[in-house]
Structure 1
Amino acid sequence: MKLLAKTLLLAALAVLPAAASFTAGERVIVLNSGDGTVSIVDPATMKEVKRIPVGKEPHHLMATPDDKELIVANAASNDLVFLNPLSGEVLRRVERISDPYQIGYSPDRKWLVSASNRLDRVDLYNASDLKLVKRFELPKVPSHVAFNAASSLAFVTLQDSNEIAAIDLVAHTIKWKMAVGKQPAGIWMTPDDKHLLVGMTGENHVEVIDWRTAKSVKKIVTGAGAHNFLAMGDGRHLLISNRVSNTVSVIDQQKLEVKESFAVPGGPDCMELTKDGKQLWVTSRWIRQVTVIDMATRKVVGKVPVGKSPHGIYFHSHAARQ
């Protein structure tokens, strides 16, 4: 009987979701775009412990290059709020940033590029002091940003004109624009610096772009509403959220093909993967929820109620960004 009980216990433990590793006291930080707040979530209990106002329409967030601060971009209140990346505590605010929907640092840390979704332009700032250098009129609805490895080009999706644009960061000019599929949103540079991957939110695929020739070379079918990317940290595999089909797909960046897809409810949008690869946290945009996926089983193991229209998400103990 003792042997049977032990066998049953081991079998039960084998199907339990693996607990992810977080730093003691670390919090998950979630942007609620619809009500201008940030939800602070305890990853151990998967419960919101605090909700703080930060500004109007906080959509995206990213850590500073030194990882010492977390930047929240408030599009409608035209400012950046800097948080403690572990606790979510507000540290400071910079008020002279116009309509920062999506932001990105160039790999050489020289430039901060801001896609002004509402104002149909892209702004270039000095990363060191956040002084405006130049504005590029780029209708319509600049959305997401990526860079080449040399930091000589920034690439921006133009969601409502069904294009992507390349901005020359040396000459400060628009180098080229090209037509792509419907409603391009997330944009990603492959680790080998060869291809741009662009999520077509108005369709069901990722478009593969040879950015040196400005030509589309392949379509990777993922799911309806292909939207935003997150690296899995192994230098090869990439996640994309499919907002309409309520799935997340895994893309092999070497073969440029889908490896698998799994269900995530409520319009999955932004994602964060734990450093140990055990849990994927996803903002479910349409149901005011963060959904936690056990990556061993690809099953939902947590549902965290948050604010209206949750968008960006971050925690400090995340997987590598490639």
Structure 2
Amino acid sequence: MPDPLPGGGPARLAVVLNSESDSVSVINGTTMTVSATVPVGKEPHHWMVSPDGRLIVANTRGDDLVYIDRESGRIQERRGNIVNPYLAGYSPDQRWLVVNGLRLGHLDIYRAGDLSLVKRIVVGGMPSHLAFDADSRKVFVTLQGHDELAQVDLETQAIDWRIKVGDTPAGVLLTPDGNHLLVGVMGQSDVAVVEWRKAAIVGRIPTGKGSHNILQVPGKPFALVSNRSVNTISVIDQRSFTVVDTIGIPGGPDCMMFSPDGRQLWVTARWRGKVHVYDPVERRVVMSIPVGRSPHGVYVE
């Protein structure tokens, strides 16, 4: 877990995406209360930050991206005709926007500048989470329905390879050294370690049932894995690929994000309609804030 981060402060606000309430909850970081609940569209699951620094919510069944004001949650702009955006992300060089259409089984590659569609790749198998290589040449996508991880070349918009990684893969993270991918395998209670340049699984890390999302710990060689079915978060050392700590988080922990100073870990409790605030120093949940139904993504600043 991180030490206090230089220049970082406590959480000023948080935004939680309530996928079954079709809303976002804006939380005041000082009072730890919900200051606004705003309808944003049909089934918001994940968020991203645009190249110009705006917060974007992807509405999976609304087929649109919504730019919201962080302070109020109010909608500033709505971009339609983005089909089935379950999870989306900008490449590190901010040239590409990649959108996973989980329900429809396709991967869309857009030009980030004008959101013009470059290529729709039909992959099937419920494309779920994604990660980019550091050079913005490749994107890695988990295919939950096919138990696969796929690598796509962003310049040619072609699939380089697809490999089996285990039953129902979800979160995927590139390790800080750029050499491996960590893939949460929900149906096997572990994390697959993939050497992506060889398209090969080189290890497995037992974590817990329902291993789902993965978060890099800022400034540290550790990653967090949320194990939804057993209400834990595993801390993985990315040098030894072993679990070095386990944290109890009730209610189906899902998405996670640290406060700017690293002193708080915010975790959505998917099955309880809450977001938890965990203190890494005290090693306990210090606050549980009711939000909407099936909270998924969480943004903190």
Which TM-score tier does this pair reach, normalised by the shorter chain?
over 0.9
Q: Residue 87 of structure 1: CA displacement?
A: 4.4
> What is the distance in 1 between the residues matched to 2:71 and 2:174?
27
Partner of 1:55: 41
> What is the distance in 1 between the residues matched to 2:38 and 2:72?
12
Q: Is 1:151 matched with 2:136?
A: yes
Q: Residue 235 of structure 1: CA displacement?
A: 3.9
User: Unaligned 5+ residue runs, structure 1?
Assistant: 1-19, 317-322
The one-letter code of the counterpart of 2:9 is S
Partner of 2:238: 253
The within-5 A match list for 1:1-322 is 21-22=9-10, 26-66=12-52, 68-316=53-301
User: Do the aligned residues in 2 keep the contact of 1:249 with 1:262 (CA within 8 Å)?
Assistant: yes
Q: Residue 313 of structure 1: CA displacement?
A: 0.3
Q: Residue 84 of structure 1: CA displacement?
A: 2.6
Partner of 1:4: none
**SS of equivalent residue, structure 1 residue 65:** coil
> What is the distance in 1 between the residues matched to 2:211 and 2:264?
21
> What is the distance in 2 between the residues matched to 1:259 and 1:104?
29
User: Do the aligned residues in 2 keep the contact of 1:85 with 1:315 (CA within 8 Å)?
Assistant: no
> What is the distance in 2 between the residues matched to 1:21 and 1:305?
24
**SS of equivalent residue, structure 1 residue 260:** strand
Matched positions, count: 294
The structure carrying a bigger strand percent of its residues is: 2
CA distances 1:150-180 after superposition (whole Å, capped 9, x unpaired) = 1111110000110011111111111111111
> What is the distance in 2 between the residues matched to 1:125 and 1:155?
16
**SS of equivalent residue, structure 1 residue 139:** coil
The one-letter code of the counterpart of 1:57 is E
The one-letter code of the counterpart of 2:264 is Q
> What is the distance in 2 between the residues matched to 1:37 and 1:119?
23
> What is the distance in 1 between the residues matched to 2:293 and 2:105?
25
Larger radius of gyration: 1
User: Do the aligned residues in 2 keep the contact of 1:281 with 1:291 (CA within 8 Å)?
Assistant: yes
TM-score for both structures, normalised by structure 2: 0.95
User: Unaligned 5+ residue runs, structure 2?
Assistant: 1-7
CA distances 1:103-152 after superposition (whole Å, capped 9, x unpaired) = 11111111000000010000000011111110001111000011111111
TM-score for both structures, normalised by structure 1: 0.89
User: Do the aligned residues in 1 keep the contact of 2:174 with 2:181 (CA within 8 Å)?
Assistant: yes
User: Do the aligned residues in 2 keep the contact of 1:27 with 1:88 (CA within 8 Å)?
Assistant: no
User: Do the aligned residues in 1 keep the contact of 2:24 with 2:40 (CA within 8 Å)?
Assistant: yes
> What is the distance in 2 between the residues matched to 1:116 and 1:182?
19
> What is the distance in 1 between the residues matched to 2:72 and 2:196?
39
**SS of equivalent residue, structure 1 residue 202:** coil
